[in-house]
Amino acid sequence: MKADVLVIGAGAVGTAITRELTKYRLNVICVDKREDVGGDCSKSNSAIIHTGYDAKPGSLESELVVAANPQYDKLTADLDIPFKRIGAILPAITDEQFAQLPEIKEKALKNRVYDVQYLSKEQILAIEPNINPEVKGGLFIPRESIIDPFIYVVAMAENAVANGAKFMLNTEVTGIRKDGDRVIGAETTNGYIEADYIVNAAGLFCDEIANMVGKFDYTVVPRKGQFYILDKNTGCKVNHIVLPIPTKITKGKLMTPTIDGNMLVGPTAEDLPDKYDKSTTTEGLDSIRADVQKLIPGVMLQDTITQFSGLRPNRNPEGLNIDVYDDVKHYVNLSGVRSTGLTNSISVGAYVANLLREIGLKMEFKDDFIEKRKGIVCIRELSREEQHKKILENPLYGNIVCRCESVTEGEIVDAIHSPIPATTVDAIKRRLRAGMGRCQGGFCGPKVIEILARELKVDPKEIRKNNSKSYMVCGKVK
Amino acid sequence: MYKIDCDVCVVGGGPAGLAAAISAKQNGAENVLIVERDEALGGILQQCIHPGFGLKLFNEELTGPEYYGRFVIVAKELGVKTLLNSMVLEVGEESVICINSEHGVCEISAKSIILAMGCRERTRANIMIPGTRPAGVYTAGTAQRLINRQNEMVGKKVVILGSGDIGMIMARRMTLEGAKVEAVVEIMDYLAGLTRNRVQCLDDFGIPLLLSHTVVNIKGNDRVESVVIAEVDENKKPIMSTAREIECDTLLLSVGLIPENELTGKANIEISPVTKGPKVNQYMQTSIKSIFACGNVVHVNDLVDNVSAESKKAGAAAALYAQKKLKSKAAITVETGENVRYVCPQTVIPADEKVDLYFRVMKPQKNVIITVTDGDNTLLTRKAIKVNPGEMEKATVSVKDISSLKVSVKEA
């Protein structure tokens, strides 16, 4: 196998880089050790497209996030990605917090986020009645937005595939070959891939890849964030992203609607040694309760339908870094792409492409780049007439498998046979929401296993929740 | 859109829907239609292959399929129509919208509607068990479906949280299929399900039941590798010094059922915060007069025999309503007295008839007197050796000329 550019990691960042490179006449391969794109950090985060108002002014992170935000209107329209500009509110609950507002606004200006507005107590309570009535006033950041993070990564990857990129999943990089001071290819669990250029976008595992090329200048320090997801019918909701005023120690815990109308509450921020520890803890979940109640006193965490945790790929020393080296040529290393990674992925793509050009990659524009991608039809969102028409076209759209989220067999079959095939229970869930509702897969789980086995022509015991050891059933009954 | 007309439309073809449809037909409704999302009638009983059904109603011990099979035969004989593989999306006062592969979107108009959607299981997230999120954590009913309908074994070494009936029945089922059930763990200091199930499903198979214990952690990144259990104090808080790890590949949850009332809520029918099901009167009529409800969608039952009895009333009343023969009069609210969590029906219309009041107690109690009163007037007193939240109680009283109604359970 041979590629002009090999991208390691198929998260939000890796897929965005891959897609960007398909705008040029290049042969691009993206590998990931997981079974699906977006299988790690990109799937478990707050699903917010940030403005960068609170970034460190002058930093690369600030530059990339601020440049990314305005791109999402067109991008999400082109690629059929659910996205809403709902705006964020930072309510000052205490006098001390109120005194911090001018400073926060000034920092936003330094980050070239000029549309931050002051809101009075009355204005805040009028648009967000569930905020603590003690609120003194606050800031409104209109372009803070919410997105479907799963569909974002899938859409970017599918569009890259439509433009000629190749994705190799379940493919772990085990070594990088060099010829003198330049990289020439990667050993993987799926064979050797010869590559003229290599981009390390391995997120949580980027330090391990860096070690393979002989770089030991940083380590990844996963920062765990635990969240609650609340039922769509919970009695206490918010209409905007409600963010706490940050303290010196933490950005704090927020409450926001998700793109599908659930409430997302969290996250914690816990530095950990273990890159695989995605457990939730009673202490963590209790701390969310305590903090969020200060903002939204009526929050009903008992309406939770799930709790999860994600790991932000922080690094030590801190900071988002995109590096090229004199002593490791034809290689780009990304590290510290943390909370803002989902947002800035789109600018990182362009930034990395340009960096590759600077270090010698020959890049010719393509005339036939396909800009648009259409997702799987979402039956629940169609009008009754449209649903009727669709079912007559394909009867499988008339068979609802997931009751809570009204997902049909037709959509599941479409996902299994899509350009980035959904081959696991979680992959189906992320693309379609089957199993993401209040029964958490209790009803649809067994049917999804059956449909996956049928479409993939394997025995149900081969079906996985996500990675290779996560079997769902262990064989037939006696 | 595909249009269908009927007199009584029943949403759900499980035991409740079947009994209601039969009764509607027997009470003069001509055109009765069951809309069922599964490929066959019977509901959850299709996967309940164990015996224990029908002791009250048929005086026989039947399996789930045998039990509903009897109803299916009668329904067919009476000419009840069915629409299978059809998911109802919306319920209106006199309309039901569903979709299926054959006809697309179907708009059903009906003179009365019976809701019989049953219930669903509470999940791991509902009770917030911390830990990782590996494969191998199933609700007991999901595991039961996989094993009994899809012939797929879910695991080999199992811990079961919750001593609900399905949990205990699955403990036995898993054991019979060669799995090792390490323990059934129950947070309360009493059994959640029926005593007979503890004897027949746990004791007879030597499966330990750990009362006042809960699962405090789930371990394993891919598949369950172990769970940590601990004793709880009187406030149900885990005592971490008692924590111990049990190696297993599967955790089954039998931690309660919730009536499935998404459609009911969307139809703006009044829902009881206690039962989480629609409030009904003795005719199983909801706050929307043309819509009736029965079975686990109203309140979670422990015996299907009770479901059938209650559904029979719903069917009869819905049929009378469709024929404009059901009188509508002011109802009184049934009050819950000492140690009574809820009473179903929640309201009663005074009439010259006897009404079955189903109720559950809040806490277990021994040697009690159950009373039903109308102000100072006692309508019924009955002694009971013990009452238990896991076992539903029934009191039948005449409701002629009553002006109030209250159910209480007191120490004798």
Quote the CA–CA distance of A349 and A74 in Å, as a whole number: 16
Check CB contact of A362 with chain B, cutoff 8 Å: no
Is residue B246 domain-shared with residue B135, that is, in the same domain?
yes
User: Domain end: B265, B300, B328, which one?
Assistant: B328
Is residue B88 domain-shared with residue B166, that is, in the same domain?
no
> Would A335 be classed as within a structural domain?
yes
B304-322 and B64-78 are packed helices; what angle lies between their axes, rounded to 10 degrees? 20
Is residue A140 domain-shared with residue A225, that is, in the same domain?
yes
Is residue A265 domain-shared with residue A167, that is, in the same domain?
no
Is residue A278 domain-shared with residue A411, that is, in the same domain?
no
Measure Cα distances from B91 to A261, A443, B113, B317 in Å: 22, 21, 9, 19
Check CB contact of A289 with chain B, cutoff 8 Å: no
Q: Please choose, from the candidates A24, A70, A81, A48, the residue with its C-alpha nearest in 3D space to the C-alpha of residue A347.
A: A70
User: Domain end: B277, B307, B328, which one?
Assistant: B328
> Would A49 be classed as within a structural domain?
no
The chain B residue lying nearest A304, using CA atoms, is B126
Residue pair A186/A177 in contact (Cβ under 8 Å)? The answer is yes
User: Domain end: B294, B328, B362, which one?
Assistant: B328
Is residue B24 domain-shared with residue B107, that is, in the same domain?
yes
DSSP letter at A328?
S
* Mean pLDDT value of segment A28-53: 95
Is residue A232 domain-shared with residue A138, that is, in the same domain?
yes
Residues of B in contact with A464 (CB under 8 A): 135
Provide the domain limits for residue A187.
2-44+149-218+317-358
pLDDT band, residue A252 (cuts 50/70/90): confident
> Would A247 be classed as within a structural domain?
yes
Measure Cα distances from A113 to A61, A74, A116, A141, B31 in Å: 14, 19, 7, 9, 65
Q: Please choose, from the candidates B338, B377, B337, B315, the residue with its C-alpha nearest in 3D space to the C-alpha of residue B29.
A: B315
Percent of chain A with pLDDT over 70: 100
DSSP letter at A109?
H
Quote the CA–CA distance of A46 and A29 in Å, as a whole number: 29
B28: left (phi over 0), alpha (psi -120 to 50) or beta: left
Quote the CA–CA distance of A426 and A420 in Å, as a whole number: 14
CATH number for the domain that contains residue A287: 3.30.9.10
Tokens of A214: 């002989």
Does residue A250 carry a pLDDT above 90?
Answer: no
Residues of B in contact with A465 (CB under 8 A): 134-135, 222
User: Domain end: A328, A358, A388, which one?
Assistant: A358
* Mean pLDDT value of segment A330-342: 95
CATH number for the domain that contains residue B388: 2.60.40
Provide the domain limits for residue B373.
329-412
Other C-beta atoms lying within 10 Å of the C-beta of residue B382: 14
Is residue A184 domain-shared with residue A236, that is, in the same domain?
no
Is residue A232 domain-shared with residue A309, that is, in the same domain?
yes
pLDDT at residue A478, rounded to an integer:
86
Other C-beta atoms lying within 10 Å of the C-beta of residue B308: 28
Q: How far is A338 from chain B (nearest CA, A)?
A: 22
Binding-face residues of A in 260-279 toward B, CB within 8 A? 276-279
3-state secondary structure A137-169: EEEEECCCEEECHHHHHHHHHHHHHHCCCEEEC
Other C-beta atoms lying within 10 Å of the C-beta of residue B119: 23
Is residue A329 domain-shared with residue A450, that is, in the same domain?
no
Token pair 């697309």 in the structure block, residue? B104
Measure Cα distances from A102 to A117, A246, A363 in Å: 10, 13, 45
Residues of chain B with pLDDT under 50: none
In the chain, the amino acid numbered B270 is E
Is residue B339 domain-shared with residue B267, that is, in the same domain?
no
Q: What is the mean pLDDT of chain A?
A: 96
Peptide bond between residue A317 and the one before it cis (omega within 30 degrees of 0): yes
CATH number for the domain that contains residue A337: 3.50.50.60
The chain A residue lying nearest B97, using CA atoms, is A384
> Would A475 be classed as within a structural domain?
no
The chain A residue lying nearest B39, using CA atoms, is A399
Is residue B116 domain-shared with residue B207, that is, in the same domain?
no
Task: Give CA B160 to chain center in angstroms.
Answer: 20
> Would A477 be classed as within a structural domain?
no
User: Domain end: A313, A329, A345, which one?
Assistant: A313
Residue A181's contacts (CB-CB under 8 Å, 6 or more residues apart) are A326, A327, A328, A329
Is residue A195 domain-shared with residue A134, that is, in the same domain?
no
Q: Which residues of A are catalytic?
A: 50
Is residue B319 domain-shared with residue B338, that is, in the same domain?
no
Residue A99's contacts (CB-CB under 8 Å, 6 or more residues apart) are none
Tokens of B108: 């059903």
DSSP string, B281-342: -TT-B-SSTTEEE-GGGTS--S-HHHHHHHHHHHHHHHHHHHTT-------EEEEE-TTEEE
Is residue B237 domain-shared with residue B266, that is, in the same domain?
no
Is residue A227 domain-shared with residue A125, that is, in the same domain?
yes
Is residue A307 domain-shared with residue A233, that is, in the same domain?
yes
Other C-beta atoms lying within 10 Å of the C-beta of residue A421: 15
Is residue B16 domain-shared with residue B132, that is, in the same domain?
no
DSSP letter at A379?
G
Check CB contact of A439 with chain B, cutoff 8 Å: yes
Quote the CA–CA distance of B83 and A43 in Å, as a whole number: 39
DSSP letter at A303?
G
Tokens of B95: 């309309």
Is residue A30 domain-shared with residue A174, that is, in the same domain?
yes
Q: Using the beta-carbon criterion (under 8 Å), do A392 and B104 form an inter-chain contact? A: yes
Count how many domains chain A has. 3
Q: Using the beta-carbon criterion (under 8 Å), do A388 and B105 form an inter-chain contact? A: yes
> Would A371 be classed as within a structural domain?
no
B16: left (phi over 0), alpha (psi -120 to 50) or beta: alpha
Residue pair A259/A146 in contact (Cβ under 8 Å)? The answer is yes
Is residue B129 domain-shared with residue B10, that is, in the same domain?
no
Check CB contact of B178 with chain A, cutoff 8 Å: yes
Check CB contact of B157 with chain A, cutoff 8 Å: no
Quote the CA–CA distance of B20 and B32 in Å, as a whole number: 10
CATH number for the domain that contains residue B194: 3.50.50.60
Q: How many CB pairs under 8 A join A and B?
A: 147
> Would A53 be classed as within a structural domain?
no
Is residue B39 domain-shared with residue B106, that is, in the same domain?
yes
B259: left (phi over 0), alpha (psi -120 to 50) or beta: beta
Measure Cα distances from B18 to A378, A434, A453 in Å: 33, 29, 33
pLDDT at residue A91, rounded to an integer:
97
Is residue B115 domain-shared with residue B160, that is, in the same domain?
no
Is residue B324 domain-shared with residue B355, that is, in the same domain?
no
Q: How far is A282 from chain B (nearest CA, A)?
A: 6
Is residue A94 domain-shared with residue A107, that is, in the same domain?
yes
The model's pLDDT over A381-433, given as tens digits with 9 standing for 90+, comes to 999 999 999 999 999 999 999 999 999 999 999 999 999 999 999 999 999 99
- Bridge partners of A200? A8, A333
pLDDT band, residue A249 (cuts 50/70/90): low
Option in A388, A425, A443 nearest B104 (CB): A388
Quote the CA–CA distance of B237 and B239 in Å, as a whole number: 6
Q: Using the beta-carbon criterion (under 8 Å), do B216 and A282 form an inter-chain contact? A: yes
> Would A179 be classed as within a structural domain?
yes
Tokens of A266: 């969290």
Quote the CA–CA distance of B145 and B223 in Å, as a whole number: 20
In the chain, the amino acid numbered B17 is G
Residue pair B181/B190 in contact (Cβ under 8 Å)? The answer is no
> Beta strand pairing status for B137-139 and B250-253?
parallel
Percent of chain A with pLDDT over 90: 97
In the chain, the amino acid numbered B104 is G
Q: What is the dihedral angle through the alpha carbons of B389, B394, B399, B405, rounded to the nearest 10 degrees?
A: -20
Check CB contact of B154 with chain A, cutoff 8 Å: yes
Residues of A in contact with B221 (CB under 8 A): 276, 278
SS3 B77: helix
- Separate counts of helices (H) and strands (E) for chain A: 13, 22
Count how many domains chain B has. 3
